[in-house]
Amino acid sequence: MSNQSSHTATQVRKAKDGIGYTLIHIISFFTLLPVLGIIFYIVANGAPTITWDFLTSMPTDGMRAGGILPAIVGTLYLTIGTAVFSVPLGVAAGIYLAEYAPQNIWTRFIRIAIISLAGIPSVVYGLFGLGMFVLFLKLGNSILAASLTLSIMTLPTIISTTEEALRVVPERFRVVCASLGASKWQGIRKIILPEAMPGILTGVILGLERAAGETAPILFTGATFFLPHLPSSPLDATMALPYHIFVISTQVPGMPLQIQFGSVLVLLVFVLVMNLSATTIRTRARRNRQW
């Protein structure tokens, strides 16, 4: 009798487990379906638009025809500009936190500041860039102002990943370096930093990937609707792929769909290539690690 009831209880429990597992599988499936769906949808609709001409010529006919060269070049400029400012500063700050920072109230402040920076909405970075770089420093609506704004947005990512990458390098290497007469900085530069490099690089690329795809921070700091020529100085405003996509999908009536899909595909490939290279660097480094 009791044997039978416990048998039934087990069956109920098993059935519950089965439902639960199925549910989790379905949920995970529906979380990931959009990723593949979006990529497939964009590639299928955008691929026919991609020709050499589309990538390398200027837009014509009020952007309703021709190519998207200035937007591609602009995004490249902005990404490089962002790297120029954010990488040295972010990596140095990460080194400070991992290797030098004492455990005191100031270090706590630094960490709170980084957490805060990481959470600030991108459009608020745009406001800050407008107030500080465009108006106060009088850089105007320019590649320089937009790059600086994007750099500051990217900074927390680069700092955190650099710190993390340095922390996983075993402490014993630091001790050995010191025991062989290396100064702290020599040990960091010759051993610790090279070992952390793949991790740092992964973080840098993921940070820049986000910067390359962002629109809100450059809306009022450097992006422009249309430019009949390529920018010739860092103080010129520029077209950029994300902003261009926003413009042609919402602001230009009668915009041919294939040009919209084509532009979106180019941006998507741009960020996916960065994403993939970051993932590849990380996997390869983990495999080749000597510790």
Partner 1 sequence: MSNSKISIRNYSLRYSDGVQALKNVSLEIHANAINVLFGPSGGGKSSLLRSINRLIDLADVDETSGQILFNGVNILDKEMPVSQLRRKIGMVFSRPIPLPKSIFENVAFGLRVAGENDPAVLHSKVEEALKQAYLWEEVYDRLDDPGISISGGQQQRLCLARVLALEPEVIMLDEPTSALDPVTTARIESFLQEIKDRITVIIAPHNMSQSARVADYATFFLQGELIEVGAGSKLFVNPQDQRTQDYVEGRFG
Partner 2 sequence: MKDKVITRIIKIAGFSSIIIVLMIFYFLLKEGLPTLGEVALSDLFTTRWYPIEDYFGILPLFSGSLLVTFISIAIALPFGIGTAVYIAEIAPARVKEILKPLIEILAGIPSVVLGFIGIVFLSPTLRETFNLPTGLTAFTGALLLALISVPTIVSVAEDALNAVPQSYREASYALGVTRWQTIWQVTLPAARSGVITAVMLGISRTLGETMAVMMVTGNAPTMLQGIQSIFKPTRTMTATIASEMGEVASGSTHYHVLFFIGIVLFLFSLIINIISSHFSEKNRKEKEQVV
Query: Under rule CB under 8 A, which residues in 174-203 are in contact with partner 1?
Result: 174-183, 186, 190-191, 194-195
Query: Residue 29 interacts with partner 1 (CB under 8 A)?
Result: no
Query: Residue 283 interacts with partner 1 (CB under 8 A)?
Result: no
Question: Among partner 1, partner 2, none, what binds residue 190 when CB lies within 5 to 8 Å by partner kind?
Answer: partner 1
Number of H helices, E strands in the chain: 12, 2
Residue with tokens 């990937």: 209
Burial 219-238 (b: 16+ CB within 10 A, else e): bbbbbbeebeeebeebebbb
Query: Residue 291 interacts with partner 1 (CB under 8 A)?
Result: yes
167 vs 174, which CB is nearer to partner 1? Answer: 174
Query: Residue 159 interacts with partner 2 (CB under 8 A)?
Result: yes
> Considering only CA atoms, which of 148, 149, 153, 191 is closest in space to residue 172?
191
> Considering only CA atoms, which of 247, 243, 249, 274 is closest in space to residue 261?
249
Q: Least distance (Å) from partner 1 to the CB of residue 205?
A: 23
Where in 245-284 is the site for partner 2 (CB under 8 A)? 245-246, 249-250, 257, 260, 264, 267-268, 271-272, 274-275, 279
Where in 87-106 is the site for partner 2 (CB under 8 A)? 88-89, 92-93, 95-97, 100-101, 106
Give CB contacts under 8 A, 24+ apart, made by 254-260: 254/64, 255/63, 255/64, 256/64, 256/65, 257/45, 258/45, 258/46, 258/48, 258/49, 259/49, 259/63, 259/64, 259/65, 259/68
Query: Residue 207 interacts with partner 2 (CB under 8 A)?
Result: no
Q: Which stretch binds partner 2 (CB under 8 A): 47-55, 59-67, 129-137, 167-175?
A: 129-137
Q: Which stretch binds partner 2 (CB under 8 A): 52-60, 66-74, 126-134, 165-173?
A: 126-134
Query: Residue 123 interacts with partner 1 (CB under 8 A)?
Result: no
SS3 state of residue 59? strand
- Summarize as ranges the residues that interact with partner 1 (CB under 8 A): 172-183, 186, 190-191, 194-195, 290-291
